[in-house]
Structure 1
């Protein structure tokens, strides 16, 4: 078997998230169906970050193991074949053989998301309605960034996560900031080694309440002392969120070490 890295983009509007679910349309389900048709047998489709229903991706990464003889026959034309067989809301931009040590999930150094919001009185532009949230109140960029600053660093984000049994809510956020683009759209960028479920949308939801003046800029950081989910935090709508980048070690020899480090940390949690 050959390990192949796929760089994937998708419009999450009509998907029930990434992971395969019986009777539901998912990104992994669509990919698995087409890959199986092309390669006959595939193993271990693994993604860098499982996105929830309605969440998009422009920089998702996954890996899959395929028969070596089929890879030899298909590698030069694979992208064109995938473009013809996949639905229009899923695209594979690159497909490349990688070392067996590469693991889309455990080898990752960081994941970066962006969240798009408009506070225009007219709401989101029709052509951007699927990836931009319309906020009904004016938003102050300085207040948003003041709230964001208190959340950067390694913290227990239990107040902002949907807790899973035997899973940690401690995460290292190394970037969280807002900008207002020339078209008036506010964009939050958040990057961390990993995220727990609904963490990004909860962080954004808390900051939006600061941005529109309903909460003090110190409020989101004050919730970090909680060890249970904060019911007063609103989870921002899914369609404003997109996974835009996953980073990996530049040196292939570091892949195994990174995977081992991540697995040990998860096991310790």
Structure 2
């Protein structure tokens, strides 16, 4: 997968930062491979944690259903799908998955880790060049969740499954083997959002708390 909006943090001695902080970005550009770039580096506010202070992460997944496949200049970040996809069916299926749910059916479970997440946005659009783009946004994601959501909806978009099928899987409490995990190269992390500086520590503490289980739909 790819990232255009990744954020990370690292703890360094204050003296070292004072010495190289202003020149860190060009220094790193000379050390990193060509497909990895650091656009900015700065001193983080007190309480900042790149992972736990985040309010949400936003991903995009690109799919070409054109008969010729993915555009040659975008083949590294665009999945070539061999069958036509219906945007209305994709949208209907995505609408049924937003909200606070247990996404166990769409996750690779880790021991002692929760699969409860709040999916705040799941939307599809077709760009002028014909590429379908899925936007998926949540407070956090479990392993393989976005690619599994996309994989399930591709089955809907091509007509093999009904639009209500992905939402019905939310009643499961274990991985749904019939859900395809979409290939990684179509996925890009495009944004990580954070609260104001004063709320960074509180957000990190809130994120670290174990999420309450979600009852199955209809209970």
TM-score, normalised to structure 1, is 0.77
Residue matched to 1:252: 197
Residue matched to 1:265: 210
Normalized per residue, the structure richer in strand is 1
Residue matched to 2:49: 103
Residue matched to 1:9: none
Is residue 170 from structure 1 mapped to residue 109 from structure 2 by the alignment? no
Which residue, out of 243, 248, 251, partners 2:189? Answer: 243
Which residue, out of 140, 155, 161, partners 2:86? Answer: 140
Shift of 1:100: 3.5
Shift of 1:95: 0.2
Which residue, out of 58, 61, 65, partners 1:115? Answer: 61
Distance in 1 (alpha carbons) for counterparts of 2:58 and 2:145: 13
Query: What SS does the corresponding residue of 2:46 show, helix, strand or coil?
Result: coil
1:1-269 to structure 2, matched below 5 A, reads: 55-249=1-195, 251-265=196-210
Q: Which runs of 5+ in 2 are unaligned?
A: 214-219
Shift of 1:67: 1.5
Point out 4+ residue stretches in structure 1 off by more than 6 angstroms: none
Computed over aligned residues only, the root mean square deviation of the Cα atoms, in angstroms, reads 1.1
Shift of 1:176: 0.1
> Alignment length, in residue pairs?
213
Query: What SS does the corresponding residue of 2:170 show, helix, strand or coil?
Result: helix
Query: What SS does the corresponding residue of 1:209 show, helix, strand or coil?
Result: helix
CA contact (8 A) 2:90 2:124 kept: yes
Shift of 1:74: 1.1
Query: What SS does the corresponding residue of 1:87 show, helix, strand or coil?
Result: coil
